[in-house]
């Protein structure tokens, strides 16, 4: 049988099932006589709620026709549905499944896994902290992770345009996510610029943060180890690693505070320019290129962690750090702080709410098992955090042994200081210090690059899906403009007081805003779009529906989990301090204003949508919370139904 339509499907009589084929000319051909187990239509005859046709029989008549056709009955009829999208290019997909998995793992495993988890773990009871951490992961982090992967894969949209398929009035969530991602790009890449500065400084026989004879050192610089019998450590002593970090890399001593940041450090500006150049040429072509880059950037850190773990375990005093890291203090579990830290750590570690998981999953095949992906990648993330603790604390135990101090005295600094001061100093005092310094800071850069690729890809996918006719054919130029905006926005973090700006963004601009945004996202999906409808969507993709556990988590536990974090932050705002600088009150107000500047998109768009929608107020409200019908906006599909006698 021959038909004059593009990409028609020929089928011989017999018992073979028809297969779905996508036309290379933006068409979609579906033989509606294919019955797939577990699939149900959710949005009316012939289509599911994401706009794609169902592959199950669309009516009893069609179903009967399909059955007759399989039985090779002479004169039977079969119906072919051809859907053509003539305006939009076909959506890009991952070259391999591993490209997607490594990209998600690279996004979830970042710098926070290396320094934040070990520090918070020992600060909140050591081994006892693992209990609230695992509970928060199972009931809060992983369900949110799974939900975002499923949403992105089913609707094949970024974090902005996806809301017309879920609950249009919440579209402001997508814009808020994009602004938060920009704020993160303003300061997160600066940490990689610091690491690059360290990396370039490591190519010498004697590491510059080992001695006190450099031009940036002060009279208080003290190189104190147990082998230095004539050196004594006082309350005014400063290690050479700390002075290198503060006075040479950051040059914080040249800025009195946020009210006077000082000039831009040209060395850090060049380092950051190199970082953004690598970022641009890794993501400018889409997931086809970034999916190849992550084979290096996502796997190399694990090789380095393994090398550092073996080296750390062989150092004298390593056991002291491990005992301090894991020694349970069960009394800590009775305090609210431990549970809050566990919830915040698992949330920011897995990273739902940044639009990245939706963007990555939107490039998957429709029937990809995102449930298995969510379990695998989240498990890898948590295990990496646990492994990093051994890498860090074996070295801290070694430092305590060399300094003849307690481990808690050596590990008093949290944040990047733990990596750039304590760990850097420990490396400098090891044999083959140059080699270990190079691979360590190279690992830090690659951990950061993965997260930057992902964060910017979330913004790019969202904007390209929302404005396809304007940006789809200009991706390279749009990415270039986005990278330039991020670089210019990061200049304030490259000044002499840039470290103060980094801390301000980290504490106020992103954390509270993104948690609030994810809370609204869960409410919109579970209560407005409906858990039943969402589970039907998942069943259509995977062939099985989420169980009762996942439904309860999405409807009740996850919202409570997020409200707990938000309420605790508002009730107990953190006292922000960096080095000897205590942030004044006006900086707290400034930080909240920056955070609100992204979240304000949500209520602003709600008002805009209600005002621009036609009809009475009740009609506007109902339309605002009702998913738009497929084809009402965005991609227009022409459906042609052809019936032929066999």
Q: What is the pLDDT of residues 504-539, one digit of tens each?
A: 888 887 778 888 888 999 999 999 999 999 999 999
Query: Which range is least confidently modeled, 7-16, 166-175, 194-203, 569-578?
Result: 7-16
CA distance linking residue 626 with residue 528, whole number of Å: 8
CA distance linking residue 118 with residue 126, whole number of Å: 9
Residue 632 domain-assigned?
no
Is it the case that residue 332 has pLDDT exceeding 90? no
Burial of 64 (0-12, 13-18, 19+ CB in 10 A): middle
Residue 411 domain-assigned?
yes
What is the token pair recorded at 348?
């920011």
Q: Is 447 annotated as a binding residue?
A: yes
**Would you state the pLDDT for residue 411?**
66
Is it the case that residue 50 has pLDDT exceeding 60? no
- CB atoms closer than 10 angstroms to residue 549: 12
**Would you state the pLDDT for residue 149?**
94
Nearest 5°: phi and psi at 221?
-65, 125
C-beta of residue 249 within 8 angstroms of C-beta of residue 194: yes
Is it the case that residue 363 has pLDDT exceeding 80? yes
Q: Is 106 annotated as a binding residue?
A: yes
Query: Which range is least confidently modeled, 279-288, 384-393, 397-406?
Result: 397-406
What is the token pair recorded at 528?
């407005």
Instruction: Estimate to the nearest angstrom the gap between the alpha carbon of 173 and the chain centroid.
Output: 16
**Would you state the pLDDT for residue 321?**
85
C-beta of residue 457 within 8 angstroms of C-beta of residue 486: no
| Choice between 208 and 49, residue whose per-residue pLDDT is larger | 208
| Choice between 25 and 187, residue whose per-residue pLDDT is larger | 187
**Would you state the pLDDT for residue 490?**
92
Is it the case that residue 595 has pLDDT exceeding 90? no
Calculate mean pLDDT across residues 427-437.
Answer: 87
Percent of the chain scoring above 70 in pLDDT: 81
CA distance linking residue 31 with residue 186, whole number of Å: 49
Q: How confident is the model at residue 69 (pLDDT cuts 50, 70, 90)?
A: very low
Give how far Cα 64 sits from Cα of 54, 57, 187, Å.
16, 9, 61
Is it the case that residue 606 has pLDDT exceeding 60? yes
- CB atoms closer than 10 angstroms to residue 458: 27
| Choice between 277 and 8, residue whose per-residue pLDDT is larger | 277
Is it the case that residue 226 has pLDDT exceeding 70? no
CATH of the domain at 144: 1.20.1740
Q: Look-up: residue for tokens 């990209």?
A: 103
Q: Is 108 annotated as a binding residue?
A: yes
| Choice between 643 and 125, residue whose per-residue pLDDT is larger | 125
Q: Across 288-292, 340-344, 385-389, which has the greatest mean pLDDT?
A: 385-389
Q: Look-up: residue for tokens 């230095």?
A: 228
The domain in which residue 549 lies consists of 97-625
C-beta of residue 14 within 8 angstroms of C-beta of residue 72: yes
Residue 407 domain-assigned?
yes
Q: Is 349 annotated as a binding residue?
A: yes
- Residue 149 host element (H or E): helix 142-155
What is the token pair recorded at 312?
């750390």
Q: Would strands 638-645 and 77-84 be described as parallel, antiparallel, or unpaired?
A: antiparallel
Q: Is 381 annotated as a binding residue?
A: yes
Q: Would strands 77-84 and 581-582 be described as parallel, antiparallel, or unpaired?
A: unpaired
Residue 631 domain-assigned?
no
What is the token pair recorded at 111?
């710098």
Calculate mean pLDDT across residues 286-309.
Answer: 87
- Mind listing the pLDDT tens digit for each residue in 627-638? 886 544 444 443
Residue 250 domain-assigned?
yes
Question: Within a 13 Å sphere around the CA of 235, how many CA atoms are in the beta-carbon half?
Answer: 0
- Specify the number of domains making up the chain: 1
| Choice between 182 and 220, residue whose per-residue pLDDT is larger | 182
Is it the case that residue 386 has pLDDT exceeding 80? yes
Q: Pick from 443, 313, 296: which is nearest to 389 by CA?
A: 313
| Choice between 7 and 188, residue whose per-residue pLDDT is larger | 188
- Residues with Cβ within 8 Å of 1's Cβ and at least 6 positions away in sequence, in order, are 10, 644, 646
Q: Would strands 577-578 and 581-582 be described as parallel, antiparallel, or unpaired?
A: antiparallel
Give how far Cα 121 sits from Cα of 130, 341, 350, 413, Å.
8, 9, 17, 14
Q: How confident is the model at residue 232 (pLDDT cuts 50, 70, 90)?
A: low
What is the token pair recorded at 370?
């995102």
**Would you state the pLDDT for residue 119?**
77
C-beta of residue 601 within 8 angstroms of C-beta of residue 160: no
Q: Pick from 158, 183, 174: which is nearest to 601 by CA?
A: 174
**Would you state the pLDDT for residue 202?**
92
- Residues with Cβ within 8 Å of 44's Cβ and at least 6 positions away in sequence, in order, are none
What is the token pair recorded at 234?
């006082």
Q: Is 451 annotated as a binding residue?
A: yes
Q: Across 53-67, 105-119, 463-477, 536-550, which has the greatest mean pLDDT?
A: 536-550
**Would you state the pLDDT for residue 527?**
92
Residue 213 domain-assigned?
yes
C-beta of residue 169 within 8 angstroms of C-beta of residue 623: no
Q: How confident is the model at residue 228 (pLDDT cuts 50, 70, 90)?
A: low
Q: Is 379 annotated as a binding residue?
A: no
Average pLDDT, the chain: 80
Calculate mean pLDDT across residues 205-216.
Answer: 87
CA distance linking residue 62 with residue 81, whole number of Å: 11
Residue 231 domain-assigned?
yes
Residue 47 domain-assigned?
no
């Amino acid at each position: 049988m021959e038909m004059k339509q593009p990409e028609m499907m020929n089928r011989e009589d017999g018992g073979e099932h028809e297969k779905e084929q996508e036309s290379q000319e933006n068409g979609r051909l579906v033989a509606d006589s294919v019955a797939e187990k577990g699939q149900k239509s959710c949005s009316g005859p012939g289509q599911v709620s994401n706009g794609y046709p169902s592959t199950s029989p669309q009516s009893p008549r069609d179903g009967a026709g399909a059955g007759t056709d399989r039985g090779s009955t002479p004169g039977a009829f079969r119906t072919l549905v051809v859907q053509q999208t003539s305006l939009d290019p076909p959506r890009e997909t991952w070259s391999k499944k591993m490209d997607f998995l490594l990209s998600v793992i690279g996004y979830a495993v970042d710098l926070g896994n290396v320094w934040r988890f070990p520090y918070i773990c020992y600060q909140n009871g050591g081994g006892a902290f693992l209990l609230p951490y695992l509970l928060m992961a199972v009931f809060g982090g992983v369900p949110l992770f799974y939900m975002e992967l499923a949403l992105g894969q089913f609707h094949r949209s970024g974090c902005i345009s996806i809301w017309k398929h879920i609950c249009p009035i919440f579209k402001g969530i997508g814009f808020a996510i994009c602004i938060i991602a920009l704020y993160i790009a303003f300061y997160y890449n600066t940490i990689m610029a610091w690491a690059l500065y360290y990396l370039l400084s490591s190519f010498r026989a004697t590491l510059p943060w080992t001695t006190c004879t450099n031009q940036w050192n002060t009279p208080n610089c003290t190189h104190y180890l147990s082998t230095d019998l004539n050196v004594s450590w006082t309350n005014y002593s400063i290690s050479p690693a700390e002075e290198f970090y503060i006075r040479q890399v950051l040059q914080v001593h040249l800025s009195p505070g946020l009210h006077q940041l000082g000039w831009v450090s040209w060395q850090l500006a060049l380092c950051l320019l190199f970082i953004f150049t690598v970022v641009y040429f890794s993501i400018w072509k889409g997931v086809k290129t970034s999916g190849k880059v992550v084979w290096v950037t996502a796997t190399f850190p694990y090789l380095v962690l393994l090398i550092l773990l073996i080296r750390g375990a062989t150092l004298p005093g390593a056991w002291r750090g491990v005992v301090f890291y894991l020694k349970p203090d069960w009394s800590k579990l009775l305090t609210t702080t431990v549970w809050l830290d566990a919830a915040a750590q698992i949330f920011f570690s897995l990273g739902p709410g940044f639009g990245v998981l939706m963007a990555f999953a939107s490039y998957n095949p429709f029937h990809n098992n995102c449930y298995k992906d969510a379990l695998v990648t989240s498990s890898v993330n948590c295990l990496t955090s646990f492994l990093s603790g051994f890498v860090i604390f074996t070295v801290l135990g070694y430092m305590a042994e060399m300094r003849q101090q307690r481990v808690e005295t050596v590990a008093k600094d949290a944040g990047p200081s733990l990596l750039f001061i304590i760990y850097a100093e420990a490396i400098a005092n090891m044999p083959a210090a140059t080699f270990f310094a190079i691979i360590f800071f190279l690992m830090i850069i690659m951990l950061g690059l993965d997260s930057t690729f992902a964060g910017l890809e979330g913004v790019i996918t969202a904007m390209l899906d929302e404005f396809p006719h304007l940006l789809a054919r200009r991706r390279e130029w749009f990415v270039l403009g986005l990278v330039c905006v991020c670089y210019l926005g990061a200049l304030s973090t490259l000044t002499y007081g840039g470290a103060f700006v980094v801390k301000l963004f980290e504490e106020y601009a992103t954390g509270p805003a993104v948690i609030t945004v994810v809370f609204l996202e869960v409410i919109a999906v579970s209560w407005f779009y409906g858990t039943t409808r969402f589970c039907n969507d998942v069943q259509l993709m995977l062939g099985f529906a989420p169980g009762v556990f996942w439904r309860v988590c999405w409807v009740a536990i996850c919202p409570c989990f997020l409200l707990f974090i938000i309420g605790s932050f508002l009730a107990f705002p953190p006292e922000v301090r960096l080095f000897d600088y205590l942030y004044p009150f006006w900086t707290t107000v400034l930080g909240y204003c920056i955070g609100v500047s992204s979240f304000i998109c949500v209520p602003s768009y709600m008002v805009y949508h209600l005002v621009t929608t036609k009809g009475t107020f009740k009609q506007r409200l109902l339309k605002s919370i009702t998913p738009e019908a497929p084809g009402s906006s965005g991609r227009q599909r022409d459906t042609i139904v052809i019936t032929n006698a066999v």
